[in-house]
Amino acid sequence: MIAGLHIRGMLFAAGLFLPLSVEAQMTETSPFSTVLSAWNEPDETVRRALIDDALSVDFTYDDVHRNAPLTSRVAFEDFLTQFRANVSGITVRLDGPPEVLRGTARFRFIMERDGAPFSRGTYFATLDEDGKINRMIGFMDQEPSR
C-alpha cells in the first residue's frame, strides 16, 4: 500500500494524483450517514435536501416490514414523514462503520429512544457511479422493544 495524501477524492503518492475508489472516500458524511440523518430530521425541507444528497434519482427502498418496495425518492420521503409521525422520539444512527465492496455496501444501524437502544438492523445498498445510494434493503437484527 502506498502512503499518501488524500485531496478531494484523489490520492497524491509518488508524485502522481491517483483517483480514490468510492470505497476509499466513504466518511462520516457518506451517503449512509446522510440517509440515516434524514430519518431524524424534523424539518421537511432539510430532510428532502438530505435525501437528494444521499440517494440517486432512480432510488428504490425495501425492508422486511414493507408489502412492496418504494420506487422513488419522493415515496421514501413520504415514508420517513409517516415514520416520524407514528414513532416519536426515535433517532437512527450508524452502528459501526459501513463496509463497501465494489459498489455494494452493508451498514448497520441502531434506533434509540431517549438515548436507549430501541432496535437494530442492517441495510444492504448499491451505489451508483456518483457514490449515491440507488437501492437500499433493510433487515432487522433486533426487533423494536415495546
Higher-pLDDT residue of 3, 82: 82
**pLDDT (0 to 100) of residue 32:** 96
Q: How many domains does the chain contain in total?
A: 1
**pLDDT (0 to 100) of residue 29:** 60
Q: What is the pLDDT of residues 98-124, one digit of tens each?
A: 999 889 999 999 999 988 898 999 999
Q: Three-state SS for 125?
A: strand
**pLDDT (0 to 100) of residue 88:** 82
**pLDDT (0 to 100) of residue 16:** 46
Q: Is residue 8, in this structure, part of any structural domain at all?
A: no
CA pair distance 4, 67, nearest whole angstrom: 48
**pLDDT (0 to 100) of residue 145:** 64
Which residues does 99 contact at the CB level (< 8 Å), separation at least 6?
105, 106, 107
Q: Is the pTM of this model over 0.85?
A: no
**pLDDT (0 to 100) of residue 49:** 96
Q: What is the pLDDT of residues 56-73, one digit of tens each?
A: 999 999 999 899 999 999
Q: What is the CATH number of the domain that holds 46?
A: 3.10.450.50
- Which secondary structure element, helix H or strand E, spans residue 45, and what is its range? helix 44-54
Higher-pLDDT residue of 22, 112: 112
- Domain interval for residue 102: 21-142
Would you say residue 5 has pLDDT above 80? no
